Amino acid sequence: MKADRLSEMQKAVLKITADRGWEKFHLPKNLAMDLVREAAEVMEHVIWETNEEIKNDPKRIRQIEKEMADVLHALLLLADSLGSDLVTVFWEKLREIEKRYPASQVYGRSGYAYKHRKKSTL
């Protein structure tokens, strides 16, 4: 990874892992499942609530923030286990999205609606 805050976070996560001898558990399959589990914990704090209820509840927001940190933690470990450079793949993916969903054609529409639009028969 390039020298940036993300790589600093990854180094810190790897140090915590090494200090506790957890490397043997950090296999791609396990880390991918952990990532999904942590993302589900974010969802637990918002399910059945309105956007207004969520946004106006500082305690809930703080709980969500902690869960988002867990998601990032799991993602950094997964990237390391696969030898992935998250900074590079992030920018590659963003360029791919820009090509796949041109702003001039999708503005104000969901990516799903654009992807499943009726194509002209001309």
- 17 and 44 housed in the same domain: yes
- Other beta carbons less than 10 A from residue 74's beta carbon: 22
- Residue 14 domain boundaries: 5-84
- Cα–Cα distance between 23 and 122 in angstroms, integer? 57
- Please tell me what DSSP assigns to residue 25: G
Q: Look at 26 and 109; give whichever has higher pLDDT.
A: 26
Average model confidence (pLDDT) across the chain? 92
How far from each other are the two terminal CA atoms of the chain, in whole angstroms? Answer: 47
Question: What long-range pairs does 115-119 form, CB within 8 A, spacing at least 24?
Answer: none
Instruction: Give yes or no: residues 76 and 93 share one domain.
Output: no
The model's pLDDT over 10-56, given as tens digits with 9 standing for 90+, comes to 999 999 999 999 999 999 999 999 999 999 999 999 999 999 999 99
One domain for residues 12 and 66: yes
CA R_g for the chain: 19
Burial label for 51, CB within 10 Å (0-12, 13-18, 19+), is: exposed
- The reply to whether 53 and 63 lie within a common domain is yes
Task: Please count the structural domains in the chain.
Answer: 2
119 or 107: which leads in pLDDT? 107
Is residue 31 within 8 A of residue 81, CB to CB? The reply is yes
pTM for the structure as a whole: 0.85
